Structure 1
Amino acid sequence: MRGLSASEQRIPEAAETMEDNKNGPVLGKSGKKICCSCPETKSVRDLCVINKGEENCADVIEAHKQCLRAEGFRVK
């Protein structure tokens, strides 16, 4: 096998990579990814689960899910 020549090692232009990335990350109404949406309810949920256990935090977990749904994400 031979290596690629310099002309074959072309780096795509930024516009090409943007076109190819039509299935990029899903963004909510605020333009944020799901991991960065609803930081207030997320931190309350996380602290509750850490301190009390998931089984004792159903209300704050549901509040976070509702916030994510309001952002346009599909959450079970």
Structure 2
Amino acid sequence: MLNFLSTWWGASSSTPTPEPAKFDPTDPRQNPLNPQGLKPCCACPQTKSARDDCFLKHDSSEADEKCKDVVQAHIACMRGYGFKV
């Protein structure tokens, strides 16, 4: 009876269920948005540089507000490559 119930519920111990593959945004087979397989550090160099320059140029108290647009542009670029930001 127990064997019947475990088979019915799909809890058979003879065939373990495989774990789903973890999404890797740098794997072109999993992420068609990133065909070159770029890592986050190498994606979007133009917006990354503009973001970094903005934060270096402005005082920390005003950087959040003044750099908001360049940060949003960098986030949009990263998401365009399939990175979860």
> How many aligned residue pairs are there?
53
Could you tell me which residue of structure 1 aligns to residue 53 of structure 2?
A: 47
> What are the within-5 Å matches in structure 2 for residues 23-62 of structure 1?
26-27=25-26, 29=34, 30-52=36-58, 53-62=63-72
Question: Structure 1 stretches of 5 or more lacking a match?
Answer: 1-21
TM-score norm. by structure 2 comes to: 0.54
Identity %: 43
| Residue 14 of structure 1: aligned partner | none
Specify which structure has the higher proportion of helix.
Answer: 1
What is the aligned partner in structure 2 of residue 65 from structure 1?
75
Return the alpha-carbon distance in structure 2 between the equivalents of residues 57 and 46 of structure 1: 9
Q: Tell me if the contact between 1:45 and 1:61 (Cα under 8 Å) persists in the aligned partners.
A: yes
Which one has the largest radius of gyration? Answer: 2
Give the TM-score of the pair, scaled to structure 1: 0.60
Kindly report which structure 2 residues correspond to 1:3-18, keeping only aligned pairs within 5 A, or say none.
none
CA RMSD of aligned residues (A): 1.9
For structure 2, the 5+ residue unaligned runs are 1-20, 27-32
In structure 1, what residue type is equivalent to 2:37?
Answer: G
